[in-house]
Amino acid sequence: MPRNRYQTDEPTSRRMAAVGLRDTKPERVVRSVLTAIGLRYRLHRRDLPGRPDVVLASRRLVLFVHGCFWHRHPGCPRTTTPCRNAALWQVKFRRTLERDARATEALRAAGWKVLVVWECETTNRPELSRRLQSFLNRGA
Ligand SMILES: [Zn+2]
């Protein structure tokens, strides 16, 4: 998969390169499920902490679509740690998690509800749809 297959602005490209996210398919699945539910959303609002992947402003909800490996999905088989340079990877992972935690905290402090959708959860579309709808109903 070519790295810049999808048109993104420069900061997004840099961010994607920084986190090693080569494939935005999980995000596309989430967007398509939201569209199927009939929701309007905005993407990557740069004025919000952590630049959430999806913003449902009228409901004050944001979604992050996280890669399991980089964002360390707990208990997930994709959350592996490479043997080579393990210490270096741990530093990178810790920075990513700290960044995620800061963004979530800032968003919640500003009154946003925050949902994380894990990459591995986007392979089961019906289940993802149920989960998103339940989150949206709670947040309504
Ligand atoms: Zn996972």
Reported pTM: 0.77
DSSP 25-61: HHHHHHHHHHHHHT---EE--TTSTT--SEEEGGGTE
Report how far ligand 1's centroid is from the alpha carbon of 74 (Å): 7
Average pLDDT, the chain: 85
Confidence grade of residue 9 (pLDDT, cut at 50, 70, 90): low
User: What's the pLDDT tens digit per position in 73-129?
Assistant: 999 999 999 999 999 999 999 999 999 999 999 999 999 999 999 999 999 999 999
Report how far ligand 1's centroid is from the alpha carbon of 27 (Å): 14
Q: Which residue has the tokens 């995620």?
A: 100
Q: Is the pLDDT of residue 11 over 60?
A: no
pLDDT of residue 126: 93
Question: How far is the C-alpha of 135 from the C-alpha of 54, rounded, in Å?
Answer: 14
Report how far ligand 1's centroid is from the alpha carbon of 120 (Å): 4
Report how far ligand 1's centroid is from the alpha carbon of 79 (Å): 7
Report how far ligand 1's centroid is from the alpha carbon of 130 (Å): 17
Rg (CA), the chain: 15
